Chain A
Amino acid sequence: GQSLEQPSEVTAVEGAIVQINCTYQTSGFYGLSWYQQHDGGAPTFLSYNALDGLEETGRFSSFLSRSDSYGYLLLQELQMKDSASYFCAVHASGGSYIPTFGRGTSLIVHP
């Protein structure tokens, strides 16, 4: 089976930087995705890492360490609209490569 661990809640202030960690256990690891979901809305894709290192997309970056079974999502210059839930999802051969989602991290951005 597959399991993922991420913090249930993170709080930060506008303009700050926040890091949301994700650790996973799986066999046949293929890649790690991140999704954002605003309350009551549809998840939207943020990033995908298959190789070690940092992927940067605007204010958001995602990091993967395959040897440590660990990744994180880094959000810079936080804005109020970034308040949402963030899910990491692991893709593995054991799950037919379909993403298995973590329980999500609720990010609360304060003014």
Chain B
Amino acid sequence: DGGITQSPKYLFRKEGQNVTLSCEQNLNHDAMYWYRQDPGQGLRLIYYSQIVNDFQKGDIAEGYSVSREKKESFPLTVTSAQKNPTAFYLCASSMGPAGGPVNEQFFGPGTRLTVL
């Protein structure tokens, strides 16, 4: 079955530690995205990638880093510089670049990160 996987579902870390969240898709989608969701809030864009080896900052990129070495994978690192990292993190992908004829985003199940 095609889809997006994120692991782990729940993650606990101590303050000051970097942590990497995994996102893998087998939908053969070009574009991938990372969003952060806080309670009662919408989704805020952290980073996105339209093509392998290229990525762009979103609205709240500070304290985060990404890589896109393979089409299928778009890991997100939450660094110690992120002041309030506890949140629900969602990865998504879409068939083509944003603005193309197909705009639907497919989301993974999310990772709930708690920093103690």
Contacts and interface: CB of A to CB of B under 8 A. Distances in A.
Interface size class of B (residues with CB under 8 A): 20 to 34
A43 B35 CA distance: 11
B103 A99 contact: yes
A83 interface: no
A35 B107 CA distance: 11
A93 B35 CA distance: 19
Given A33-B103, A45-B104, A98 B40 contact: no
A70 interface: no
Contacts of A35: 105
B104 A96 contact: no
A91 B99 contact: yes
B33 A42 contact: no
Given A42-B90, A42-B109, A103-B41, A48 B99 contact: no
Q: Give the 9 A-B residue pairs with the shortest CB-CB distance, closest first.
A: A97-B99, A101-B42, A97-B98, A42-B107, A101-B43, A98-B98, A45-B104, A103-B42, A43-B107
